[in-house]
A and B are shown apart, each in its own frame.
Chain A
C-alpha cells in the first residue's frame, strides 16, 4: 500500500524592498500636489488654451514646456465610470464603489478618481460630482479622499 504522502513544504523567504531616498516631484506636479494640501486644484494651461487637470509638464500637442497654471473647480462631470462590486485589497474602499474620469469645471481633460456612490444605480455618465477632501492632507493625490454626487449637499469632513 502506498504510504500517505508528506504535504509539500512551501519554501518562503522574507524579502524587504527599500528605497532609502526621496525625490522632488518638480515644479508642475509639485505645485498641483501642494495645492491639494490647501484644498486647491490647479491645472496647467497649454499655449493653445487647454487646461490640463491633472497638469502636465509639457504640452501634449507641441511638447513645449508649460509654466502657466489655472485654478479649476472642485466639482465636475463624470465622463465615464465603472462599478467595482468586489474591491481588491489595495483599492481605496473596501465597499463597492466606482472609478470615474471626472472633468472638473474649467478643465479640458479628466482626472481619474474613485466615486463613493453606495450603489451602481446612483452612477451615470454626465452626472455631477464634487471632491470630498481628506481631513489629514499630505500633498498627494489621496488628499482627495474621493468624489461624491454633488446633490448630496456638503459632506466636507473638515473638523473646525
Chain B
C-alpha cells in the first residue's frame, strides 16, 4: 500500500440556514483555503472527488456546478459519490493507490435547510415497502433509541449526557453551530419530537462544506510538516431492512472498525458521526471504544451536521489534532442511511 495522508483541509462554519450563498458559493472559499494552506498548485492536483446529494439541492447533477466552481480547466480527472464526502475521500485514497497520481482534492457539501430534511431523507429508503409510508429520519432513529432503552443498558439521561458533553466541547469549535453549557436534568424537561427522542438528541439542520487535500509519501511531507497518515480505511453496509437488524448494535461499524485495523494500537481519540445521541453509545460499544478514548472534542455531528459533509468533517477534525501534535493516533467515523445503516472508519496517525 502507498502511504497517503491528509495534508490540508478547511471547512465552512455550519449555520442553520445560509440565505445568501448557494451550495457552490459556500464551497468555493473552502476549497480555495484548503489549496492555499498547503501551497499546492491547483493544476498539480491529480484527482478530484466530491460527495453531495441531488436530493438536498433539488436538481439533477448538481455536483457539476460545484466542479465548475472549484475549477475544471484545464480538464481534470474527477469523480463524484452520492454519499458523504468521507466516501469521496475513500475513493480518492483508492485512486491514489494506483500510483500514477500523487495528490487529490476531496470535498463534501450540502444545504440541508433548503427542503424539509426529515422528509427528504425518506427518499433513501426502500422504495416499495417503506418509502411510500414516509417515515422520517427522526422517527426511524427513535425506533432504534427505543430498542436501546428496552435493552435496559441505557436510559434517556445517558442520551442527554451525550448532548451535554457535545455542546460543551463545541464551545471551542468555531465551526460548530450549537454549543453551550446545559444540564442533563434541564434537557430532560423538554418535549419529545418523536419519543423517546427530544430535540437535544437530534443533530441540528446545517448548511456547510468541507474540503481536504490528500498526498502520497514524500509529496505529503513536502506539503505539510506533520501529515495525518491514513493507516486504515474501510466501509461496510447493513441491510436496508431495519426490521432484520439488531438495532442496538452496529454490525457494519464493528466490521469496518476491525478491517481498518483500529485495534492494532492505542486509539487516543475518536471523531464519531452520530447524528443522534443514542447512536454514539451504539457506535462506542460496537467499536470497543472505552472511557479512555476522547470522543468528539469538536462537538461532533450533534453540534453541526451539514449532510454530505458531516462525515468528512469528522476526518478533518481528527487530522487537525494529529497535525498539531496533540495526538498521535485516532479514529474517525462517518455514517449514512437510516439507523447507522452504512459506516466508514478511518484510522489516522502522525509520524
| Chain A residues within CB distance 8 Å of chain B | 25, 29, 33, 52, 54, 56, 60, 79-86, 88-92, 99-101, 103, 109-114, 120, 125, 140-142
Contacts and interface: CB of A to CB of B under 8 A. Distances in A.
12 contacts: A33-B128, A80-B147, A82-B194, A85-B194, A85-B195, A86-B193, A88-B118, A88-B136, A110-B244, A112-B130, A113-B133, A114-B133
B128 A82 contact: no
Contacts of B194: 82-85, 99
Contacts of B122: 90
A80 B197 CA distance: 13
Contact of A60 (B118, B134, B239): B239
Nearest to B59: A15
Contacts of B172: none
Interface of B: 116, 118-119, 122, 128-130, 132-136, 139-140, 142-147, 150, 191-197, 239, 241-244, 247
A110 B144 CA distance: 13
B139 A141 contact: no
A125 B143 CA distance: 11
B192 to A, nearest CB: 6
Given A56-B241, A109-B241, A25 B143 contact: no
A54 B191 contact: no
A127 B256 CA distance: 35
A79 B146 CA distance: 9
Contact of A109 (B128, B192, B195, B244): B244
Contacts of B136: 88, 91
B132 to A, nearest CB: 5
A60 B244 contact: yes
A121 B197 CA distance: 16
